[in-house]
Amino acid sequence: MQNTHMQHIAPEDFAATVLKWQQQHGRHDLPWQQPATPYRVLVSEIMLQQTQVVTVIPYFQRWMQAFPSISALANASEDEVMALWQGLGYYSRARNLQKAARYIELELGGEFPSELKQLEMIPGVGRYTAGAIRSFAYDSYGPIVDGNVRRLFCRLFAIEGQPTTAAVNKALWQQAERLTPELNNRRFAQGLLDLGATLCKPRNPECTRCPFNHACAAYTQNRVGELPTAKLKKTLPTKTGHFLWLPNEANVMLSKRPDTGIWASLWCLPEVSEAPAEATLVASFKHTFSHYKLIAKVWQPEADAAVWRELREANTHYQRAPINLQNIHEFGLPAPMLKLLNKLLQEDSNG
Ligand code: SF4
C-alpha cells in the first residue's frame, strides 16, 4: 500500500522542517491560539470539524463571550446553546460540547484532563480532538490526523485506498505517531494543519512552494491528481417532508423538534406526516443531509384556527412561539428554515 521512499525520513528531520515552515509561513493569528486554553481549543476543534476557519471565527468569538468557561457552558440552557450554533450545521456538535462541559464539571470536578486516554472519554472527543487538545493546549505529544493531515500524508507517502477504510486509517495514524515530536507540539500540530490547508490543498496544491516536494511520493511520481484516492460517490435517497405555515398577527407557530433525528432540539415550522387536505403550497426547498435529500414542502392550511388547536392538543412539544424578524435570533433554527422564515415573514408583512 505504501511507497517506501519517505518511510525512512527521520522524525527529527520531518518535525524540524514542519517547525521551520510554520514559523515562516504558518498561521499565527487564529483567535483560539491566544490563549490556547484546553476549553478554547476544545470549542474551536469541535466547530472546525465540518466547517472552514473563516466561518468559524465569528462563531467562536460570540461563543466565548456568551460562555467564557466550562461552567458557564455547563449551566447554559439548551436554547441558548443552540441559538449560538445557528447556521453552523451538524448540531449534534453543539449538544456534545455542552455534554462535554457538564461531564468535566460534574464528573471531573471542573478539572480539564490532560492525558490522551482521559481526553478521549469526554463526550464528542475522538482520537483527533484529544491529540489536538494535547498539542495546542498542553504543548505535549498528541498525534493528529484530520482531513488536512490525511490528504498531506496520503500524498507524501502514496497511501492508496478508500480514505475511510480501517487499513488506510491505520497507516495514517502510524505515520502520525511516528512523526510527532516530543517537543514544540503546539507549533508542530499547527504546522501540519497549515501545510494541509494552505499548500497541500484538495485541488491545485502548491507543490513548488512545499518544503517536502523533493521527497513527496505523489509529486515526484507525478501522481498528485490521483492521491488521496477519490471517495466512491453514493447516491442519496430522497424524502419529502411537510411543514405548516401558520402566521397569526406578528406570530408564527414554531415547534421545538425532539432531541434525536434531523435538526434535533431546534425550532422549526411544525412538521406533519402528510400534506393537509385543504391547503396552499406557500414554499418549498431542498436540503441535503449526510444520509438523504429532503424536499421540504410548506403548506398553509385553509382552517388555520382548527389546525392550531389540533396541534396544541396533539403534542405538548408544540409550542406557540411569538416569532418575528426582531427576535428570531433568540431561537436555534436550522439555516434553511431560518432563510425560509425570513422570506415568508417578509412576504407576509408586504402583503
Ligand atoms: S509536494 Fe505537493 S502533494 Fe506533496 S505534500 Fe507538498 S503540496 Fe502536497
Closest C-alpha to ligand 1, atom 8: 200
Catalytic residue status for 313: no
Domains and CATH numbers, the chain: 9-148+164-195 (1.10.340.30), 238-350 (3.90.79.10)
Catalytic residue among 12, 45, 330, 347: 45
Question: Mutate which of 17, 152, 209 to test ligand 1's pocket (most atoms within 8 Å of Cβ)?
Answer: 152
Q: How far is the CA of 44 from the centre of ligand 1 (A)?
A: 26
**Contact predicate 81/72, CB 8 Å:** no
Instruction: Look at strands 267-268 and 254-256 and give their pairing.
Output: antiparallel
Residue 210 Cα: closest atom of ligand 1: 6
Residue whose C-alpha cell is 482521559: 118
Q: How far is the CA of 284 from the centre of ligand 1 (A)?
A: 44
**Residue 235, helix vs strand vs coil:** coil
**Contact predicate 9/214, CB 8 Å:** no
Question: Mutate which of 155, 172, 208 to test ligand 1's pocket (most atoms within 8 Å of Cβ)?
Answer: 155
Closest C-alpha to ligand 1, atom 2: 207
Q: Is the dihedral of CA 223, 227, 50, 173 positive or negative?
A: negative
DSSP state of 268: E
- Cis-peptide, bond into residue 35, ω within 30° of zero: yes
Q: Which of the residues in the chain have pLDDT under 50?
A: 1-5
Q: How far is the CA of 156 from the centre of ligand 1 (A)?
A: 7
Residue whose C-alpha cell is 408586504: 350
User: DSSP assignment of 277-317, as one string?
Assistant: SSEEEEEEEEEE-SS-EEEEEEEEES-HHHHHHHHHHH-TT
**Res 2: pLDDT:** 43
**Contact predicate 293/236, CB 8 Å:** yes
Q: How far is the CA of 141 from the centre of ligand 1 (A)?
A: 24
205 lines ligand 1 (CB under 6 A): yes
Burial of 298 from C-beta contacts in 10 A (0-12 / 13-18 / 19+): buried
Distance set, CA 43 to CA 64, 75, 87, 331 (Å): 9, 16, 16, 21
For residue 208, give the C-alpha cell. 513548488
Contacts of 316 (CB under 8 A, 6+ apart): none
**Res 201: pLDDT:** 96
Q: How far is the CA of 203 from the centre of ligand 1 (A)?
A: 11
200 lines ligand 1 (CB under 6 A): yes
For residue 237, give the C-alpha cell. 435517497
For residue 296, give the C-alpha cell. 421540504
Distance set, CA 91 to CA 50, 78, 104, 191, 226 (Å): 11, 12, 20, 29, 33
Kindly give the residue spans of alpha helices, DSSP state H, lying in 195-280.
Answer: 217-220
Q: Is the dihedral of CA 298, 303, 307, 309 positive or negative?
A: positive
Q: How far is the CA of 274 from the centre of ligand 1 (A)?
A: 52
**Contact predicate 179/14, CB 8 Å:** yes
What's the CA gap between 167 and 299, in Å, rounded?
49
Question: Mutate which of 212, 214, 220 to test ligand 1's pocket (most atoms within 8 Å of Cβ)?
Answer: 212
14 lines ligand 1 (CB under 6 A): no
Q: What is the pTM of this model?
A: 0.78
136 lines ligand 1 (CB under 6 A): no
**Res 1: pLDDT:** 43
